[in-house]
Amino acid sequence: MKSMNDLVQNFPQQLKEAIQIGEKAVLTKAKNSIRNVVITGLGGSGIGGTIVSEVVASNCTVPILVNKDYFLPSFVNEHSLVIVSSYSGNTEETLQAMNQALNMKAKVVCVTSGGKVEETARKEKLDLILIPAGMPPRACLGYSLTQLFYVLEGLELITMNFREELDSTIKLLEKEQKSIQEEAMSISDFLLNKIPILYISDGYNGVATRFRQQINENSKMLCWHNILPEMNHNELVGWTENHHNCAVLLMRNTSDFSRTQARMEISKVVFAKYTPHTRELWSKGNSQLECSLYLIHLTDWVSCFLADKREVDSSEINIINHLKGELAKI
């Protein structure tokens, strides 16, 4: 198996391959009008749903809910599209939600590399998009995320030119690869031996969540994040004493709403009173999708460099495997 560093390095190529897979995907027309979308999946398989739902929020004609549980909301019915996203195809929560979706007569589309999701999809004659197998789910975000755009477009729920934006992203990441790694190395130095606290504007919650999860899984560190303006109405009050073991990273975009930008500026002055470790990270790109994937690629590198400096195996997830083993006994 390739190392996590090799898999992160391959992200632009993965996006290219994902586009090829999406272009060949065969989707059947929904029997009923689609009035809502539920993307169900967890971990590395589910985070793509969060990111895509934010990117298409101003374009999609129906509401999108991202589900990360065993159960689907009761509004799901024959007018719902349920996208089942499970890289392994064996995620127990997602399998249960998938069976619920079938019982609720929803239109079901599956994105997976195999497993029981593929078996059920073929048995029930569901729309199925297969992505390459044999890698950690968190290292396959490019594959799974891209297919969500194709599903939404194929069922005539979005009209955005995501292909052009993905192509621009690939060119940007390839062009900036050296500087991306240099900045990622610098940020990993900044976060080493501290508790990372990530702040980002609303609309990019999935990006910060992805970074937190990568620090958890790859770097084997605890981390938390919040979004603005929401944190200005609660968490900001928690900054009332020194936290010199915390490192605040503000993840910013030049396109962030002006009032949110102002909140960032005021808030970082508050943070600086209680920790000497504050820093900003600015995205690059000409669209929300491009900025999101730029930040994701850069922060994926940060998590790998942190793992290297901490001398831990970025691919190892023994505690999760232990949890699954214990659940299997029940």
Digit-coded pLDDT (tens) for 218-265: 999 999 999 999 999 999 999 999 999 999 999 999 999 999 999 999
Examine residue 317 and state whether it is found in any structural domain, yes or no. no
pLDDT, the chain, mean: 96
Q: Are residues 133 and 183 in the same domain?
A: no
Q: Are residues 277 and 135 in the same domain?
A: no
Examine residue 199 and state whether it is found in any structural domain, yes or no. yes
Residue 62 DSSP symbol: S
Examine residue 325 and state whether it is found in any structural domain, yes or no. no
Residue 162 DSSP symbol: H
- Is it the case that residue 84 has pLDDT exceeding 90? yes
**Structural domain count, the chain:** 2
Examine residue 321 and state whether it is found in any structural domain, yes or no. no
Q: Are residues 21 and 154 in the same domain?
A: yes
- Is it the case that residue 1 has pLDDT exceeding 80? no
Examine residue 330 and state whether it is found in any structural domain, yes or no. no
Examine residue 319 and state whether it is found in any structural domain, yes or no. no
Q: Among residues 31, 233, 241, 311, which one is catalytic? A: 233
Closest C-alpha among 136, 133, 81, 138 to residue 110: 81
Q: Is 316 a catalytic residue?
A: no
Range(s) of the domain holding residue 180: 176-310
Residue 138 DSSP symbol: G
Q: Are residues 77 and 147 in the same domain?
A: yes
113, 135, 160 — which closes off a domain?
160
Enter the pTM of the model: 0.96
What is the per-residue pLDDT for 50? 97
Q: CATH no. for residue 238? A: 3.40.50.10490
Output the CA angle 33-37-42, nearest 5 degrees: 155
Q: Are residues 273 and 300 in the same domain?
A: yes
What is the per-residue pLDDT for 312? 96
Examine residue 46 and state whether it is found in any structural domain, yes or no. yes
Q: Are residues 26 and 153 in the same domain?
A: yes
125, 160, 195 — which closes off a domain?
160
Measured between alpha carbons, how far is residue 230 from residues 19, 23, 56, 111, 281 in Å? 35, 38, 21, 32, 20
Quickly list H helices, 129-250: 141-154, 162-175, 177-191, 205-217
SS3 of 78, please?
Answer: coil
Q: Among residues 171, 244, 273, 324, which one is catalytic? A: 324
Q: Is 156 a catalytic residue?
A: no
Q: Are residues 212 and 297 in the same domain?
A: yes
132, 160, 188 — which closes off a domain?
160
pLDDT confidence tier of residue 2, bands split at 50, 70 and 90? confident
Q: Are residues 24 and 151 in the same domain?
A: yes
Q: Tens digits of per-residue pLDDT, 140-168? A: 999 999 999 999 999 999 999 999 999 99
Q: Is 217 a catalytic residue?
A: yes
Q: Which of 185-208 are b and which e, b meaning 16 or more Cβ less than 10 Å from the residue's Cβ?
A: bebbebbeebbbbbbbbebbbbbb
Q: Tens digits of per-residue pLDDT, 88-127? A: 999 999 999 999 999 999 999 999 999 999 999 999 999 9
Q: Are residues 207 and 302 in the same domain?
A: yes
Examine residue 323 and state whether it is found in any structural domain, yes or no. no
SS3 of 303, please?
Answer: helix
Mean pLDDT calculated for residue range 45-55: 96
Output the CA angle 76-77-78, nearest 5 degrees: 145
Q: Are residues 144 and 217 in the same domain?
A: no
Q: Tens digits of per-residue pLDDT, 256-294? A: 999 999 999 999 999 999 999 999 999 999 999 999 999
- Is it the case that residue 206 has pLDDT exceeding 80? yes
Q: Are residues 229 and 94 in the same domain?
A: no
Q: Among residues 93, 153, 165, 217, which one is catalytic? A: 217
Close Cβ partners of 66 (under 8 Å, ≥ 6 residues apart): 38, 39, 40, 46, 49, 50, 53
Q: Are residues 150 and 189 in the same domain?
A: no
